Amino acid sequence: MTTKDLISIHDLSIEEINEIFALAASLKASDHKPLLAGKSLAMVFEKPSTRTRVSFEVGMYQLGGNTVHLSPNAVQLGQRESIADVAGTLSRYVDGVMLRTYRHDDIVEFAKYASVPVINGLSDLLHPCQALTDIFTVKEKKNDLKQVKFAYIGDGNNVCHSLMLAAAKVGMNLTIATPRRYEPKAMIVKQALDDGKASGVEIDILNDPVIAAKDADVIYTDVWASMGQETETKARKAAFANFQVNSQLVGLAKKDVIVMHCLPAHRGLEITGEVIDGSNSVVFDQAENRLHVQKAILALLLGGK
Ligand code: CP
Ligand code: NVA
């Protein structure tokens, strides 16, 4: 990898994405390799996490390294001390830092002052490790990404943004259906369309879940209210009422459609229990792959492999 950090998929080349996927597949298929023996990763969390924390922690362990978990009130980025001072300090102790923050710019600023690799473990804007894992999972299930019709139904949020940027790089056609006023941010749409020129991808953004789901190979959804948007929950429930991924909607897709969700899920809201627990759902394969894909990212960024 030529990039120091993983903050946005927009910063990666298709060669780097393929390198991550190839290493992830080989790590998944083999016994644990001590590629990061003696190395440490600090993990700074401003928001809760299950999958990101555990998969990074176990991933570092399996690579022969270790992690230091910093909970929301431990660091208090920019409050207890400046982001630059935290970045400068942690860079003297550890070989890489993963951050989960509210403000995306905090991760960008941290990376500017950190001399070690910085990995975005979710911000309000992006969730690159999730989207790389998701594309890796689609590739495992469907082989040729260029033949896939991927439908994202729900909020134009951090996960949607990173999926757009990833789809644009790998050339996977993507249709997004959100309620009006919940579309992905224009700045990310522009980046994805620009990146998509090289891969020849089609990205459609609609307000109709039925059109998006029709003949889809993949249906993907995420929560209607993300972490930090709890006060909007009620208004969002009303706005997203027609965007639930249920059996009726899944019935419009191809017979062998796979249903994806980054989790945590709210059964009965964005997805029904029947669908998430049904035979088309791959949500736990997806969750497992966080481990393999992030081990590849860690090995490439922290180990110079
Ligand atoms: N999908 C995901 O990032 O899960 P967590 O919020 O539990 O880490
Ligand atoms: N969009 C969700 C993803 C959680 C992994 C959130 O930001 O809360």
Q: Which residues are catalytic?
A: 100, 127, 130, 222, 262, 290
Contacts of 272 (CB under 8 A, 6+ apart): 244, 245, 246, 247
Residue 137 burial (CB count, 10 A)? 23
Please give the helix or strand (H or E) that residue 141 lies within, else none. helix 128-142
- Residue 72: what pLDDT? 85
Helices (H), 205-282: 209-213, 233-239, 247-250, 273-276
pTM over 0.85: yes
Instruction: Record the tokens describing residue 295, joined without a space.
Output: 């081990």
% of the chain beyond a pLDDT of 70: 99
Instruction: Record the tokens describing residue 305, joined without a space.
Output: 């492999």
Please give the helix or strand (H or E) that residue 69 lies within, else none. strand 66-70
Over residues 223-245, mean pLDDT: 98
**φ, ψ at 205 (rounded to 5°):** -120, 115
pLDDT at 305 over 60: no
Q: Where in the chain is the domain with CATH 3.40.50.1370?
A: 9-127+289-302, 130-286
- Residue 48: what pLDDT? 96
Residue 266 burial (CB count, 10 A)? 15
Over residues 109-128, mean pLDDT: 98
**How many angstroms separate the alpha carbon of residue 138 from the centre of ligand 2?**
20
Report whether residue 227 contacts ligand 2, using a CB cutoff of 6 Å. Answer: yes
* Nearest atom (ligand 1) to Cα of 53: 8
- Annotated binding residue at 130? yes
Low-confidence winner among 72-76, 161-165, 288-292 (lowest mean pLDDT): 72-76
Q: Which of 44, 45, 46, 49 to mutate to test the pocket of ligand 1 (most atoms within 8 A of CB)?
A: 49
**How many angstroms separate the alpha carbon of residue 226 from the centre of ligand 2?**
5
Report whether residue 123 contacts ligand 1, using a CB cutoff of 6 Å. Answer: no
pLDDT tens readout for residues 18-70: 999 999 999 999 999 999 999 999 999 999 999 999 999 999 999 999 999 99
Instruction: Record the tokens describing residue 119, joined without a space.
Output: 């990995």
Instruction: Record the tokens describing residue 204, joined without a space.
Output: 């459609």
CB of 178 closer than 8 Å to CB of 204:
no
pLDDT tens readout for residues 255-298: 999 999 999 999 999 999 999 999 999 999 999 999 999 999 99
Q: Which amino acid is at 233?
A: T
CATH number of 9-127+289-302: 3.40.50.1370
User: Measured between alpha carbons, how far is 225 from 158 in angstroms, rounded to an integer?
Assistant: 11
Over residues 236-250, mean pLDDT: 98
130-286: CATH class: alpha beta
